[in-house]
């Protein structure tokens, strides 16, 4: 008795799924045109303005080289210098302490000042 009910439900499920898949096959397998792809990417890129390309503050006392390179004007070498300076001298006490790091000048500090933090 239960076996017949099971087979009945299973058969109905397979038939309903098959009909749905057949009706929606073209939409499921549709490949997006190049124009749609470009439009989707440009909409995603518009989420952040040029000044806000980092959606969160980076803690310069905890960030690794990879995170630091997300900051404008900070490449691999400068990021490594920041990490080495921090390991040698301890945590930064102010944002201006970054000026002590080789390769970090006033212009770089000005560009990243609102994107960094010292808080834990």
Confidence of residue 57 (pLDDT cuts 50, 70, 90): confident
What pLDDT does 33 receive? 56
Determine the Cα–Cα distance for residues 4 and 23; give it in Å rounded to an integer.
29
pLDDT score of 46: 42
Number of domains in the chain: 2
Which whole number is the average pLDDT over 36-60? 57
- Same domain? 58 vs 39: no
Do residues 40 and 89 both lie within one domain? no
Q: 59 Cβ partners below 8 Å, 6+ apart? A: 116, 117, 118, 119, 120
**Across the chain, what does the average pLDDT equal?**
80
Q: Are residues 21 and 56 in the same domain?
A: no
Whether 63 and 107 map to the same domain: the answer is: yes
Residues 23 and 77 in one domain: no
Is residue 39 located within the same domain as residue 65? no
- CATH at 101: 1.10.150.280
């Amino acid at each position: 008795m239960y076996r017949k009910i099971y087979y009945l439900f299973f058969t109905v499920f397979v038939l309903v799924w098959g009909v749905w898949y057949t009706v929606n096959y073209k939409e499921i397998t549709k490949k997006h045109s190049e124009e749609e792809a470009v439009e989707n990417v440009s909409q995603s890129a518009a989420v952040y303005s040029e000044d806000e390309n980092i959606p969160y503050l980076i803690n310069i006392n905890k960030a690794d080289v990879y995170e630091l390179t997300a900051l404008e004007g900070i490449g691999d070498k400068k990021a490594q210098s920041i990490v080495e300076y921090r390991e040698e001298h301890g945590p930064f006490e102010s944002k201006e302490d970054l000026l002590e790091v080789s390769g970090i000048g006033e212009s770089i500090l000005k560009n990243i000042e609102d994107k960094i933090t010292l808080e834990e």
